[in-house]
């Protein structure tokens, strides 16, 4: 950015404006496989700073077309959502006040880390049930903007269900409140002769004139973060028009979020988990079917590579489990060691978690499931209350350990989040793994939300190898062709970012892509917010920005 422009920016911002090389390098990464160096990193102090940033970009965009604003909370996005080549706007420093809780609703700022948010909600025996596996390292702004989901989403749904009201700064540089509006309230908004009035009028028209196409294009899966959520804005039963449904999951492409009201749910008193060790996948469909009939709160899975990782990184797991030492952790894993020694490594480990306030009901459920699975002879363990911690640690932390621990190999999330109906999993999963196995240099772990049919496949590669870099888009295309064949979604929770936006056309077709582009244009006609994400994706640009160094 030229010095005059930078000076103008600094004069308009009360927070911090940084351009030193170390800061630019730090903020050129998120948890994706990309590297994209910004020109400036800004830590806005307050709402006024956010408005000033938008005004600054609007005023200078004509002479500096590449100027843009990319929001960032904790920067753990796996799709390249929180990096870009112009101004990065970080919320973690000043937008991190302790959330306020009234009744079952928490009002939060975007830079609040989930771990701190949960500390407050637990004081009220309440929880936000759509926290992601990155719960220890991510923040609320990213959770809302990615429409994050997690281990409890099977029962509770995703973030979109819990965001009740948001405050945003939109592309005209003003602040707005978005929430569900009645028909009369919506009509009043549409009559406004302002930018807000235009948004309501145009979005209402877009939704009502294209209802048939929109309904037809809805992916046949239980969770979806691909594209803009045009399906839930208009609720014909409640007769409400709710733009929070569109904003949640929009990856900062429609405006800045600076406050959100999040609904919470009560915590259940008891839990009981069944762990099923599968040596082959031939009965997977049947097991999924039997387990789902008993309405578990979560139903998760991980593969043999993930389990091996847990055993390999023992000291780290000791820390995560909060146990007294390595001996105690080793002791807690003893049954698994013995099982592996005598029975071999299981191909897939399934965790079926039942929660409730009546312990007896939970025990009945695990007993019933055990009985139903008996003819299939899987190895089963039951974990009650605290015993299940170690299984959760493996499930939640494996990707993070992979990111940090394997020397000369790098995690490259690019087919990391597809969803199909759970009944297709036993067909789709082996096809996907065979497909990746055909390419030399790609070893991977699999973990996921089996009850939702949502799987996270994270390859581990030598990113400096040109053949590996070349094969990334080849594998992505093949996997997404398969997902398309099974009417799935290319992302259930991790969102589109740089990596998946180019594949949205294949998933939705021209008509819906044009509706996404019109939506972007209604909110952000000058394309100032997070370009190349959600719309106008550019595969060549993405591939040219795969990291070279780690
Ligand atoms: C180990 C690991 C495990 C993960 N597991 C899961 C999982 O189980 N489920 C899941 O959904 N995701 C998962 N993720 C991805 C990611 O952590 C989550 O989606 C998380 O919610 C992102 O939060 P963040 O604060 O880090 O977001 P960021 O990376 O900061 O941002 C995410 C997106 O939101 C936008 N954004 C952020 N703040 C704002 C704001 N204030 N206004 C407007 N836009 C904003 C950004 O521009 C970006 O597009 C995982 C990531 C890692 C590294």
Two tokens, residue 37: 């160096």
Residue 12 to residue 529: CA distance in whole angstroms: 19
Nearest CA to ligand 1 atom 16: 77
441: number of Cβ within 10 Å: 15
The angle that helices 466-485 and 425-437 make with each other, rounded to 10 degrees, is 160
- Alpha-carbon span 317 to 188, nearest angstrom: 56
Whole-number Å distance, alpha carbon 143 to ligand 1 midpoint, is 5
Chain CA centroid to CA 93, Å? 22
For ligand 1, atom 1, the nearest C-alpha belongs to 400
Q: Which of 267, 297, 313, 341 is nearest to 445 (CA)?
A: 313
pTM: 0.94
Enumerate residues lining ligand 1, CB below 6 A: 30-31, 70-78, 81-82, 91, 110, 132-134, 138-139, 141-143, 145-146, 148-150, 251-252, 256-257, 399-400, 493-494, 530
Distance CA 28, CA 15 (A): 20
Query: Chunked in runs of 10, what are the mean pLDDT values of the chain (550 residues)?
Result: 95 98 97 97 98 98 97 98 98 96 98 98 97 95 97 96 98 98 98 98 98 95 97 94 98 98 95 91 90 95 86 71 63 71 84 94 95 90 77 81 77 95 91 93 90 92 92 96 96 98 97 98 98 97 90
Ligand 1 centroid vs 542 CA: distance in angstroms? 18
Q: What is the dihedral of CA 480, 447, 280, 443, to 10 degrees?
A: 70
78 alpha carbon to ligand 1 midpoint, in Å? 7
Q: Say how many Å lie between the CA of residue 14 and the centre of ligand 1.
A: 26
Angstrom CA distances, 373 to 49, 92, 345, 366, 378, stand at: 59, 47, 20, 11, 7
Which pLDDT belongs to residue 331?
A: 67
* 427-437 burial code (b ≥16 CB/10 A, e <16): ebbeebeebbe
Phi-psi region at 300: left, alpha or beta (left = phi > 0; alpha = psi -120 to 50): beta
- Looking at the CA of residue 81, tell me the nearest atom of ligand 1: 49
Give the C-alpha separation, 516 to 316, whole Å.
43
**Distance from residue 115's CA to the centre of ligand 1 (Å):** 14
Q: What is the pLDDT of residue 85?
A: 98
């Amino acid at each position: 950015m030229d010095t005059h422009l930078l000076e103008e920016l600094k004069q308009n911002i009360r927070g911090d404006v940084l351009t030193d090389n170390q800061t630019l390098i730090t903020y050129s990464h998120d948890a994706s496989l990309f590297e994209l160096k910004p020109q400036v990193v800004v830590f806005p102090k307050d709402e006024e700073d956010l408005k000033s940033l938008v005004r600054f970009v609007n005023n200078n965009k004509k002479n500096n077309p590449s100027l843009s604003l990319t929001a960032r909370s904790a920067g753990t996005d796996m799709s390249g959502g929180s990096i870009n080549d112009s101004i990065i706007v970080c919320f973690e420093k000043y937008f991190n006040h302790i959330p306020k809780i009234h009744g079952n609703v928490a009002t939060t700022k975007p830079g609040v880390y989930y771990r701190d948010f949960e500390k407050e909600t637990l004081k009220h025996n309440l929880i936000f049930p759509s926290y992601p596996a990155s719960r220890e390292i991510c923040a609320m702004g990213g959770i809302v903007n990615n429409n994050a989901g997690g281990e409890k989403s099977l029962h509770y749904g995703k973030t979109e269900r819990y965001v009740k009201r948001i405050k945003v700064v939109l592309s005209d540089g003003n602040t707005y409140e978005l929430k569900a509006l009645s028909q009369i309230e919506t009509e009043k908004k549409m009559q406004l002769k302002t930018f807000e009035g235009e948004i309501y009028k145009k979005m209402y028209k877009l939704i009502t004139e294209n209802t048939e196409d929109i309904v037809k294009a809805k992916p046949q899966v239980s969770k979806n973060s691909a594209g803009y959520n045009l399906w839930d804005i208009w609720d014909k039963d409640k007769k409400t028009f709710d733009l929070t449904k569109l904003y949640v999951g929009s990856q900062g492409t429609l405006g800045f979020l600076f406050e959100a009201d999040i609904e919470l749910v009560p915590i259940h008193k008891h839990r009981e988990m069944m762990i099923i060790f599968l040596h082959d996948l031939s009965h997977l469909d049947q097991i999924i079917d039997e387990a789902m009939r008993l309405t578990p709160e979560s139903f998760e899975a991980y593969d043999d590579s993930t389990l091996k990782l847990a055993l390999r990184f023992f000291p780290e797991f000791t820390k995560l489990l909060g146990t007294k030492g390595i001996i105690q952790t080793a002791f807690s894993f003893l049954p698994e060691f013995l099982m592996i020694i005598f029975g071999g490594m299981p191909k897939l480990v399934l965790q079926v978690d039942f929660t409730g306030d009546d312990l007896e009901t939970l025990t009945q459920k695990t007993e019933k499931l055990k009985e139903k699975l008996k003819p299939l002879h899987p190895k089963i363990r039951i974990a009650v209350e605290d015993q299940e911690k170690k299984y959760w640690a493996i499930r939640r932390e494996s990707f993070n350990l992979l990111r940090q621990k394997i020397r000369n190999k790098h995690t490259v999330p690019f087919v990391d989040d597809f969803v199909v109906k759970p009944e297709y999993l036993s067909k789709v999963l082996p096809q996907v793994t065979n497909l990746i196995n055909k390419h030399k240099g790609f070893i991977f772990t699999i973990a996921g939300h089996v009850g939702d049919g949502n799987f996270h496949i994270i390859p581990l590669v030598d990113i400096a190898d040109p053949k590996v870099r070349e094969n990334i888009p080849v594998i992505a295309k093949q996997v997404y062709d398969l997902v398309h064949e099974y009417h799935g979604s290319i992302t259930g929770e991790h969102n589109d970012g740089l990596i998946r936006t180019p594949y949205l056309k294949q998933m939705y077709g021209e008509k819906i892509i044009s509706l996404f582009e019109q939506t972007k244009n209604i909110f952000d006609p000058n394309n100032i917010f997070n370009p190349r994400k959600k719309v106008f994706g550019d595969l060549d640009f993405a591939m040219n920005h795969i990291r070279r160094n780690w």
